[in-house]
Amino acid sequence: MISSVLLSLCNPPKSTLSVLGIHYTDDKPVLIEFEKGKILKISQSKKTQNDSKIYVAPGLIDLQINGFVGVDFSGPNLTVEKVRKATKALWREGVTSYFPTIITSEFSRIKENLAVLANAMEDPEIGSSILGFHLEGPYISPVDGFRGAHLEKYTRKPNWQELLDLQNAAKNNIKLITLAPELDGAIPFIKKCADSGIVVSLGHHNGSVSQIKDAVNAGARMATHLGNGCANMIHRHHNPIWPQLSEDLITPSIIADGFHLTKEEVRTFFKTKGADNLILVSDALDLAGLPPGEYIRGERKLLLTPDVVKFPDINGLAGAASPINRCVEVIMEFTECSIEEAIKMASTNPAKILSLNDLGAITPGKRADLILFTKVGNKIEIQKTFVNGKQVYSKE
């Protein structure tokens, strides 16, 4: 059975939108046909529709999300039903696929939750949206500031046999790992990860120029939320930010929610790396999507504001509270980049770095993961979400 969506694009240019994957020469609506979950054909349609301001884009891919609407992927008593709840809520935000992120925790908890997530990947309703898992820690710096909100008592040195144990619980679905390159044994550990197909990202660390270079030579290819997971007081010249930003083989992810980085930082990272080599992530906590107020999470008190999560005792940032579509809006506002570039950083680039070859673009043969949305200024509003050619959300 062939399904299709008919839509127009808001103020389309007279040239190819390579990021969105659609070719056209005028303002006529575009017809996208898909069959058996794959994009079959893209063409201009002679039909018209009332709403001429609907955009289509490949679904958003969030490589770093800790939870959503009260579901904590690192929390106690995680179940497939809870993961289902979070996934459906993310569909409303235009996230068609994501990497549940497990943070530094008690080892038995990490192992247990990876097993639950592996079962969720096999769920017929939501499994297509879970692409693998991001292990953020426990192999990170134990030093205050650099470990961020991670608890020091659960940090540890890299251990390959230990990771294999976790991979077994995860059914080999740990696809991305964040670690500190300065830890004992980190460099050979990075090489083993890279050789086994795990993408290595440097984060929550205070690595030197030589340590970062050694990590890159061993196979590290990303920097996790560059500019965050870093102490407030660092040397103006010799710090972990500059060598990662200047390294051509490193693609940084950033939290562009308007709070974790200043406008000037976002603009600098964007100008340095460009839209082809930057990835947007939400890094949202499970509190995202919940009413503002005080909560207890990870043995600590947190304050959820309408925009971000804080530690109320020190008035410091504890985590993000916005889905990745907010990051798309903010980076357009801060950098004046195009919607095409913003979508590229939230879909095409994540797919590329993780070798998700059937995602991240709208071209024949790709998986029919699509979002339809309106755009007023830099504000976007999701109208419909498709995963594997199936409509999973409609604002109507």
Q: Are residues 95 and 25 in the same domain?
A: no
Q: Are 202 and 224 in contact (CB under 8 A)?
A: yes
Q: Are residues 190 and 304 in the same domain?
A: yes
pLDDT at 12 over 80: no
pTM, full prediction: 0.93
CA nearest to 386, candidates 65, 60, 69: 60
pLDDT of 296: 87
Residue 286 is part of which domain span? 59-353
pLDDT of 230: 86
Q: Which two tokens stand for residue 335?
A: 């950098």
Q: Are residues 79 and 157 in the same domain?
A: yes
Q: What Cα–Cα distance (Å) separates residue 303 from each residue in 228, 290, 295, 309?
A: 19, 11, 6, 6
pLDDT of 52: 53
* Phi, psi of 41, deg, nearest 5: -160, 145
Identify the weakest region by mean pLDDT among 15-29, 62-76, 118-132: 15-29
pLDDT tier for residue 299 given thresholds of 50, 70 and 90: confident
Measured distance CA(232)–CA(209) in Å, rounded:
19
Strands 308-311 and 316-320: antiparallel
Chain segment 59-103, per-residue pLDDT in tens = 999 999 999 999 999 999 999 999 999 999 999 999 999 999 999
Chain segment 30-49, per-residue pLDDT in tens = 788 889 999 998 887 766 55
Bridge partners, 95 (sequence order):
60
Q: Are residues 388 and 347 in the same domain?
A: no
Q: Are residues 222 and 311 in the same domain?
A: yes
Pick the most confident of 24-28, 250-254, 312-316. Answer: 250-254
Q: Are residues 183 and 108 in the same domain?
A: yes
Q: What is the mean pLDDT of residues 49-63?
A: 81
The CATH number of residue 238's host domain is: 3.20.20.140
Count structural domains, the chain: 2
Q: Are residues 228 and 325 in the same domain?
A: yes
pLDDT tier for residue 159 given thresholds of 50, 70 and 90: very high
Q: What is the mean pLDDT of residues 256-279?
A: 97
Q: Are residues 46 and 13 in the same domain?
A: yes
The CATH number of residue 51's host domain is: 2.30.40.10
User: Please, what is the average pLDDT of the chain?
Assistant: 90
Q: Are residues 164 and 281 in the same domain?
A: yes
Residues for the chain: how many in total? 396
Q: Are residues 231 and 380 in the same domain?
A: no
Q: Which two tokens stand for residue 4?
A: 């299709």
Higher pLDDT, 381 or 28: 381
Q: Which two tokens stand for residue 88?
A: 């459906």
- Residue 316 class from Cβ within 10 Å (0-12 exposed, 13-18 middle, 19+ buried)? exposed
Chain segment 305-356, per-residue pLDDT in tens = 988 998 887 777 888 999 999 999 999 999 999 999 999 999 999 999 999 9
pLDDT of 155: 95
Q: Are residues 331 and 364 in the same domain?
A: no
pLDDT tier for residue 50 given thresholds of 50, 70 and 90: low
Residue with tokens 């709208």: 362
pLDDT of 238: 93
pLDDT at 14 over 60: no
Q: What is the mean pLDDT of residues 164-187?
A: 98
Type of residue numbered 377: G
Q: Are residues 81 and 114 in the same domain?
A: yes
